Structure 1
Amino acid sequence: MKKSNFPVEALPDWCKRYGVELNSIKVADVPGRGIGWITTEDIRHDSEASEPPKPLLVIPGDVIVCREHVGHYAVQNAQFHNLLTAIGYESDRQLILFHILVQLVLSSPDYKGTKLTPNPWTEYISLQPSSVPVPTLWSEAELSLLEATSLEPAVAAQLILLDREFTAIQSKAVSVDFGKEIFEHATLRDWVWVDALYRSRSFELPFSGVSCVPCLDLANHGTGRKAQWQQIEEKETVKLVLKKGAEVKAGEEITISYGEGKPAAEMLFNYGFVEGEGEKKVMVDLDEALAEWARKDGLLKEKLEVFGKSPVLEVMLDEVHGGKGRWKSPFIEFMCVKEEDGLGFRVEAKEGRQERRVIWKEKKDVTRMVGMWDVFMNAQDVRNVVRFRALCVVEGVVEKQLKRLNARDEMEDEKLVKSGDVRRSVLDNVLELRRIEAGILQKVLEAVHEETERLLKDEKVAAEAHTQSAS
């Protein structure tokens, strides 16, 4: 599908037509950063001044894409309303993504089908970059770089989800004529692109919910940012304003924060870059480990059923205590309890269905404690033994993940850049992600070893360790 041409030079006219106000800034191509906002004059916001400077941007609520406004658009356009009814969207995210996908098709010069009421986004969507640097839009060679990082399973899962969503929506949409017209042009690649756009450029607005905000989405993320956005409840207007005490010279880029302290993996997944100052945390996928545990634990199926969600291991650095490694996994804590400790299950009939309950020492129903099993264990006489088992499990998972990370050959990765199969910016971000995650895993491993040594002084724990080594 051919994309409509909307040059950045045309944005000021678009802003005038749709009531977007610009003050002391202009859109420009920022070297190394793509499109962004730069100032046209010196601006300052004195903390003591009675009158703050004019907002840099004022964006009317009716050009924002949010759940409520997509609903208004459907009321105005019967064809779009019928299409929404046919697909039966599952979430606000799907609703917004589908609306943007439709605007993308309507904007294409290749599209000759049904016309809808003019929408600001039908034109604005063409200003969005065709290449969004998030991993779901990387090449196969670039995706291979994520091996052994926490993003490897996360990106794979997202791509599977997007494929499933697109297939389901397409199969329902073609039941109406307008849907057939849209999906003569829309492809899975377009759906993946729209999702990337949504994740990297949407905002959690206080009065509109998660929304796509034109013009504000052109502001790049930056350190030492001197501007911030805010939403006014009346008419849901969004403003970009200079922070108190900030001073900006003419020609300087105006940047905002995409979120303070987010982990490196989250930044790369959603925005396509890594910021080293984020929270030091890694989510370790446990799917591979579960297959191994299933061979050893005859109750694993029951434990997974009552736990009710995907098990993960969260490892992190505790900055309050000098960057000491810590870990958290309610499921691992629960999984490491055995029948001989007092764990049991009972199936009860409830409202016409069978429900599995967790029973402690054949008496107490502790099902509600499954998600915080470590808290429950603290009051039990087997707590040290169970904790030791959990530490052994965590040690194995972390060691394996760390070994896989360290096994990557950076020289081979560099060859992919030289051959043109991998972009330099992608490799640089992945190398930083690996460095951060390897550092966290190493610290956690050290903390696990320290705690294990302390617990081995307990006679019951020492006996458990002997039993494990003998088996």
Structure 2
Amino acid sequence: MIRRGRAEGWLKEPIEGLTAWATFHGVVFNGIKIGPLPGYEDRGSAVIAKRNLNGDIEEPLMTIPKELVLSRQNIELFAKSDQHLRELLQALGDFGRTTRGAVLTFLVMQASLCCPDIKDIGVHTPLTDYIKYLPDELLPTFWTEEEHELLEGTTLRSATRAKMNSLLREFETFRTATGPISWCARYWWDEEDGLLTFDDWLRVDAMYRSRALEVPGVGDAMVPCIDMANHASGHATAALYETDDDGNALLELRQGKYISPGEEITITYGDDKGACENIFSYGFIEDTMSSAKVMFLNLDVPDDDPLRPAKIYVCNTAPGFRLVHKEDTVEWEGDFVWLVVVNEEDGIDFKVRQTVDGEKEIQAFWKESELNDASKIRAYLEKDPLWEVFQLRAVVLMQGRVHAQIERLHVVGSPEREGTVRERPWHLAARLRTLELELLRKTAEILDNKRATLLDSETIQRYLGLIDDDDDKGDEEEVDFT
């Protein structure tokens, strides 16, 4: 439906008309305009200065009335006067009460209101017309299979697969919940003439995911006009978004910033986000990005671990670890790693207990202390005399995973661009492979050094039997730390 609306024009308006829409609905522009940046038209629209702007004295560059902010709270208000929207949200239950569920449902509803084949449903709002100005972002969920193959060896490959599976589950949930509603069955789900498809769910997901901002006092939301601003990190970020005492959204130039006429005014989508997440959520990598910044490498509990089923059952953390590039080093985060490296003889135990309603559940213990949250196991390990041993096991485990990822990237190499592969996905995949390989190599070097340091510690030496309690050296033996 949305793809058709873009092609036929009933769900697409030229960006030049956005100023008129904004003015009509009470949006205030101060010394700025929205449109393509000369010389960078391929990047879509931008917020551009119309005159000299001084961040030390400038009033807000934009003021967006609070009722135009597409948040869960405002959607609930819209639903009070729109019985069809209210019907949808109620049918969706818990999903309809989440910000994501409410926003995606609202966007589908607004697109349906614009469709000439759908009659007598919903209430037209200012945001019904606003979505006509939103561009179609080329996120990885819209890449072809040939383009996805370019991601082999990168963390974006598994992230995209997981996202597609998640979106499919969401869509099936949406269809199952709304199918019994008469007008949904008629317009959306009719076997012959149904208008709504999985492609529509992909498109509203892309609208929301690529434009959602964490608005102070509101939470995740789409903010018309402000969400047209492009990203720049660090000192290049020109403006910040905020809310005033009345709840209106503001775009304010940073203090000390001076913008000349015709220059772009940027915001940050999050300076800490890595290359993978930038492509995943926004469809680009910043030109100045010289590091992948953040990577998540998945892990699994080894098949030969007798505690594997219990560990998987109690695990409430992401199954892997996160690499974070900070200045000249790489740090890692991941409570799952500690759960993998401890064994029964170390002190971890699992017991089956019966709940008050008669159900059975597995409870984890560390040396008789109950682990209500498996993510807290590190706190116990840090106090254990064998803490350095656990660290060494973790380092060895991560070394193996990092080297495996490096090998995968080496196998993939630098694929040639096939005729059906578009320029942008090919370029982004190539940059991501380069950035992630560099971060992995740096991580491998740091882990090698950490392993060497730990092997020299007295605790490890004693654990290996290289020295006894009388400081006598014993014979060296190999120990499997995995």
Both proteins in one fold, TM over 0.5: yes
Question: Is 1:326–1:447's contact at 8 Å kept on the other side of the alignment?
Answer: no
Cross-structure match for 2:101: 94
Quickly say closer, same or farther: Cα 1:443–1:238, change in 2 above 3 A: same
Question: In the alignment, which residue of structure 2 is the partner of 1:218?
Answer: 228
Query: 1:387-426: per-residue Cα shift (whole Å, max 9, x none)?
Result: 333222211111101110122231x3x322xx1x222222
Q: Aligned residue for 2:469?
A: none
**Partner of residue 268, structure 1:** 279
- What's the TM-score once normalised by structure 1's chain length? 0.88
Q: Which moves more between the two structures, 193-202 or 10-19?
A: 10-19
Amino acid at match of 1:445: A
Aligned match of 1:259 in 241, 265, 270? 270
Q: Does 1:106 align with 2:105?
A: no
Q: Does residue 227 of the first structure (1) align with residue 239 of the second (2)?
A: yes
Which residue in 2 is equivalent to 1:238? 249
Q: Deviations over 1:255-279 (max 9, x none)?
A: 2111223222121111111231677
Match of 1:346 in 2: 351
Aligned residue in 2 for 1:439: 438
Change (3 A) 1:240 1:278: farther
CA distance in 2, matches of 1:408, 1:435: 12
Aligned residue identity for 1:27: I
Residues 278 and 218 of structure 1: CA distance in aligned 2, closer, same or farther (over 3 Å):
farther
Whether the 8 Å contact between 1:385 and 1:460 is mirrored in structure 2 is: no
Alignment of 1:199-348 (within 5 A): 199-222=209-232, 224-234=236-246, 236-275=247-286, 276=289, 280-286=293-299, 289-290=300-301, 293-294=302-303, 296-319=304-327, 323-348=328-353
- Superposed CA deviations along residues 327-346 of structure 1, whole A, max 9, x for unmatched, are 33322222222222333222
- Deviation per CA, 1:130-171: give whole Å up to 9, x if none: 3x1221122212211211211111111111111111111112
Question: Structure 1: any 5+ residue segments left out of the alignment?
Answer: none
Which stretch shows the higher mean deviation, 350-359 or 181-190? 350-359
Residue identity in the other structure for 2:269: Y
Contact 2:284-2:428 within 8 A present in 1 as well:
yes
Question: Amino acid of the residue matched to residue 241 of structure 2?
Answer: W
Residues 1:385 and 1:230: Cα distance change in structure 2 (over 3 Å): closer
Once the two structures are superposed, residues 282-301 of structure 1 have per-residue CA deviations (whole angstroms, 9 ceiling, x without a partner) of 11012xx44xx11x111111
Contact 1:24 1:40 in 2 (8 A): yes
Query: How far apart, CA to CA, are the structure 2 residues paired with 1:450 and 1:225?
Result: 36
Q: Partners of 1:437 and 1:57 in 2: how far apart? A: 37
- Cα contact 1:150–1:282 (8 A) shared by 2: yes
Asked whether the equivalents of residues 215 and 243 of structure 2 are also in contact (C-alpha less than 8 Å), the reply is yes
Distance 1:156 1:205, change over 3 A: same
Residue 34 of structure 1: CA displacement? 0.8
Q: 2:131 is matched with which residue: 109, 118, 125? A: 125
- Seen in structure 2, the aligned counterparts of structure 1 residues 58 and 347 have a Cα distance that, compared at 3 Å, is same
Distance 1:107 1:89 in 2: 27
Segments of 5+ residues of structure 2 without an aligned counterpart are 189-193, 467-475
CA distance in 2, matches of 1:179, 1:240: 38
1:434, distance to aligned residue in structure 2 (A): 1.8
Q: Deviations over 1:79-116 (max 9, x none)?
A: 2212222232512211111101110121133x332243
1:233 and 1:265 mapped to 2: Cα distance?
A: 36
Shift of 1:436: 2.1
Secondary structure of 1:253's partner? coil
C-alpha contact (below 8 Å) 2:364/2:371 kept by paired residues: yes
Task: Report the TM-score when normalising by structure 2.
Answer: 0.86
Q: Which moved more, 1:85-94 or 1:195-204?
A: 85-94
Q: C-alpha separation between the residues in 1 aligned to 2:265 and 2:391?
A: 50
Cα deviation, residue 191, structure 1: 0.8
Question: Relative to structure 2, which stretch is displaced further, 342-351 or 71-80?
Answer: 342-351
Deviations 1:216-255 (CA, angstroms, capped at 9, x unpaired): 1111113523222221131x21122222232222222222
Aligned length: 448
* Residue equivalent to 2:184: 179
Secondary structure of 2:384's aligned partner? coil
SS in 2 for 1:298: coil
Structure 2 distance, partners of 1:333, 1:177, is 52
1-structure distance, mates of 2:197, 2:144: 17
CA distance in 2, matches of 1:398, 1:466: 25
1:325–1:445 Cα contact (<8 Å) kept: no
Specify the alignment match of 1:14 in structure 2: 21
2:149 maps to 144
8 Å Cα contact 1:330/1:374 also seen in 2: yes
Deviation at 1:196, TM superposition (A): 1.1
Considering only aligned residues, what root-mean-square deviation do their CA atoms show, in Å?
2.4
- Are the equivalent residues in 2 in contact too, given 1:261–1:277 (CA < 8 A)? no
